[in-house]
Amino acid sequence: MKALNMKERVGLTAGTIWDLLSKKNEISVTQLAKVVKEKPLVIHQALGWLAREDKISYREEGLKLFISLTR
């Protein structure tokens, strides 16, 4: 099986995050990293991709950062 290039990994991770949020509503970025099981660099790029497409919203609570799908 061919290894994925970085752009493909980021895209697939963005899809995984979107699917997770459609079921879970909201999750902290810290918890997201544990659930998705991907390198932090890829997770943050996937979040940037989703944010740029206006698919996710951010909410801060103290020192924690939460994400959810844009309504």
What is the pTM (predicted TM-score) of this model? 0.88
Q: Could you read off the pLDDT of 17-68 as tens digits, one per residue?
A: 999 999 989 999 999 989 999 999 999 999 999 999 999 999 999 999 999 9
At 21, which CATH number? 1.10.10.10
Q: Confidence class of residue 1 from pLDDT cuts 50, 70 and 90?
A: low
What ranges in the chain are assigned the alpha helix state H? 6-24, 29-36, 40-52
Q: Which H helix or E strand runs over 8?
A: helix 6-24
Please, are residues 69 and 21 in contact by the beta-carbon 8 Å criterion?
A: yes
Residue 1 within a domain: no
Tell me if residue 66 falls in helix, strand or coil. strand
Note down the domain range covering 31.
6-69
Domains identified in the chain, total number: 1
Assigned domain for 22 exists: yes
User: What count of other Cβ atoms lies within 10 Å of the Cβ of residue 18?
Assistant: 16
